[in-house]
Structure 1
C-alpha cells in the first residue's frame, strides 16, 4: 500500500435527513479551575439549525468550543456516533467546520489563500478542479470574490468575518458550528449569513450557531438552546423557548413576545419598564426604578 493510501481517509458516509449527527450528554466544562458549563444535554439532527442563546457570560462560546473538540469536557459529545475527541484531526475536519469568534491571522495571506485553507482536509480525496469550483462558489456566495487578491490583514472586521465564513463553508462538512457569525456585519450581510446557514441545513446538513439576536434565532432556527450561568434553561422550538416569562427572567429585562406583520415570532424589549403596567420592579432598570 502506498504512503498516500495509508494516510488518506475516506470521505464521511452521508447521514440521512433527520438522523442525529451531534449528541451531548451531561456535558460540563471547567476552564482555569472554574466551572463554565454544567450538565448540558441535547441532540442536533441533519436538516436543522440549532441556535444557542443566552446573556453575556452564559457559556455559549465555551459550549461551542467543546462541541468542536477544542475544549476538554466532562460527559459525552458524540459526532457521527463517535466521541468528538476520539476523531483524528483530519477525520474531524472532514466532519465538522468551525467559524470561531476570533479569527486572527498575523501573516499577510491573500483572501483566496485563506479560503483555500478550508479545502485542506480534502487534499488527495477530491480533484483540484472540484476544490477550485467549491472555493469560487463560496467566495461568490459570501461576496468576497471581488477582493480575492487583497491581503487578509487589510480587511475590515466585517470583510474578515465573511472570508472566515467562506473558508468554513468550503470544508463541505455535515456539521457547521458558527460562533456569533453576524457580530461584525451590517444588517444586509447578517441576513445573508443566516440565510446561508439555513440553506446549508435544508440541504441535509446540521448547523449550530451562537446568536445574541433573539429575533434572528426565532426566524432562522428550528430549535433553540437557552443557557444561563452555564446551565441549560430550555431546549426546544423557538415558540417553546422564547416566551415572555423565560426571556425576561434569563435576560433580566422584560420583553414582549408576539407576531409581526408577516406572522414571524417577534421579541421586543420594553424600553422603559417602570412606565409599563405589565412590567415589574425586579426587571426594571435600576436608574429608572421609583424610589
Structure 2
C-alpha cells in the first residue's frame, strides 16, 4: 500500500514544526527518516498515524485519507513501533502482542487469525518470554515486543520510530533484517533512524528533515553528501563507501578543521597516506594528497575527505602531468608529511627536496593533537630540510 504525504504542516502554538513536508513512499519500499534532533521526525510519524491532525496538507494510506478514517480503520492500514517503550501495567508479553489484533476483532468477537500473534513473537524472537511480565523485560526486549505487536496488527504500512534504539548490535541487525524481509513481502515501511550508516545500508531511500522541511529525498548515495550533512546537522563529515556492504559510510569529523590556516600535503603509497590524511584532517588542517594510485586506500581516504588529490593509474609510475601537479601541491603547502616507509616509494624524495618535512611511521601521528603539534613545530622552524636530514625526522 502506498503512503502519500502532501504539503503537511504542523504547529504547536506559534512554533512551526513541520513546514510543507511532501513524500511518496511506494509499496514494498523502506524509507529512512533522518535528521537532527528537533527536526520533526517523531511529529511527522505521529501525524501520519492520525495521532495528530495536520494544520495543513494530507496523508493518504492507499486510496484513503488517514484523517478521514476511524482509529480502528486507520490501524488496519498503519502499524507503529513507537520510540517510547514504557508500559506501566503488568501485562504479559503475549498480552501486549495480542493488543495488535484489536483493530481486526469485532467488539465481542474472537480474533479471526490468532496464529498471527505466535508468528509475530517468533519472528521478533520474544516467544521465549511470552508469559513474562512486560515490566520484567529489558528495554531492548520491550522494543522487540512492540515490534511483534506491530507485526500482529498485520497492517500494510509500518512506521518505526528509532527501531534500533536500545538494542545491542546483534539485535539491531536482526531487527532491520526483519524489516527488510517485511518490505520484500510487500509492506511499506518508514523508519526514523539516527544511525546514518545503518540507514544507508538498509533503506531504499532516505528522507532528510531539517527545520521541519524536506532537505533531501532519494537514494542513500545521492542524499548522504558532505554538503547535505553539513546543512542538516551542522556537522563536518567524510562520506566514503563501506568496503563490506558497499553502502555509504559517514564519519563525523572534528569542527577544529576551520581553526587552522595551514595546508599540509601528504605523500603516500601502498596505503601509508590514509591514516595520516585522517589524523591531519581531524587536527584541523587543510589537506592535499598525492601522487597516489587511483582507487587504493590512500585515494579513498582523500576522496572521503574531499581533499585535493593527484592520482596515477596502477603500475603507471609518476611522471608528466601527475608529477607536475603533485609538485605544485607540495610547493603550495606549508608542510609536507610522509610516512617513513613511503619515503622511498615512487618519486617521493624528489618531490620533497627543499620543502619542510614531517616524517613519521604509521603510528607517529597517532592522535589529532600530536599531528597538529608536530606539523606546527615544523612550520615554525621554517627552515627547509631534506628528507634524509636528522632534524627533519620526528619518528
User: Under TM normalisation by the shorter chain, which class is it?
Assistant: 0.7 to 0.9
Name 1:80's counterpart in structure 2: 62
Deviation at 1:80, TM superposition (A): 1.4
1:105-254 aligned within 5 A:
105-124=87-106, 128=111, 130-131=113-114, 133-254=115-236
Secondary structure in 2 matching 1:130 = coil
Equivalenced residue count is 262
Name 1:54's counterpart in structure 2: 35
- Indicate the structure (1 or 2) with the bigger Cα radius of gyration: 2
Secondary structure in 2 matching 1:55 = coil
Quick check: 2:82–2:160 contact (8 Å CA) kept in 1?
yes
Select which of 255, 261, 265 maps to 2:248.
265
1:102 aligns with 2:80: no
Name 2:331's counterpart in structure 1: none
- Deviation string 1:89-120 (CA, Å, 9 cap, x unpaired) is 11111111011111332210000000011111
Query: Structure 2: 5+ residue runs without aligned partners?
Result: 258-279, 288-304, 307-395
Secondary structure in 2 matching 1:201 = helix
Quick check: 1:29–1:35 contact (8 Å CA) kept in 2?
yes
- Deviation string 1:134-185 (CA, Å, 9 cap, x unpaired) is 1111111211111111111122111111111110111111100001111111
Quick check: 2:101–2:111 contact (8 Å CA) kept in 1?
no
Quick check: 2:96–2:149 contact (8 Å CA) kept in 1?
yes
Name 2:277's counterpart in structure 1: none
Aligned counterparts of 1:96 and 1:141: Cα–Cα separation in 2: 19
Deviation at 1:248, TM superposition (A): 2.5
Quick check: 2:239–2:248 contact (8 Å CA) kept in 1?
yes
Quick check: 2:26–2:188 contact (8 Å CA) kept in 1?
yes
Secondary structure in 1 matching 2:208 = strand
Secondary structure in 1 matching 2:166 = coil
Quick check: 1:254–1:273 contact (8 Å CA) kept in 2?
no
Secondary structure in 1 matching 2:238 = strand
Deviation at 1:40, TM superposition (A): 0.7
Deviation at 1:81, TM superposition (A): 1.9
1:68 aligns with 2:68: no
Secondary structure in 2 matching 1:23 = strand
Residue 272 to residue 233, structure 1, CA distance change in 2 (3 Å)? closer
| Aligned-residue RMSD, C-alpha | 2.2
Quick check: 2:85–2:139 contact (8 Å CA) kept in 1?
no
Normalized against structure 1, the TM-score is what? Answer: 0.85
Normalized against structure 2, the TM-score is what? Answer: 0.63
Q: Which is bigger in relative contact order (C-alpha 8 A, separation at least 6)?
A: 1
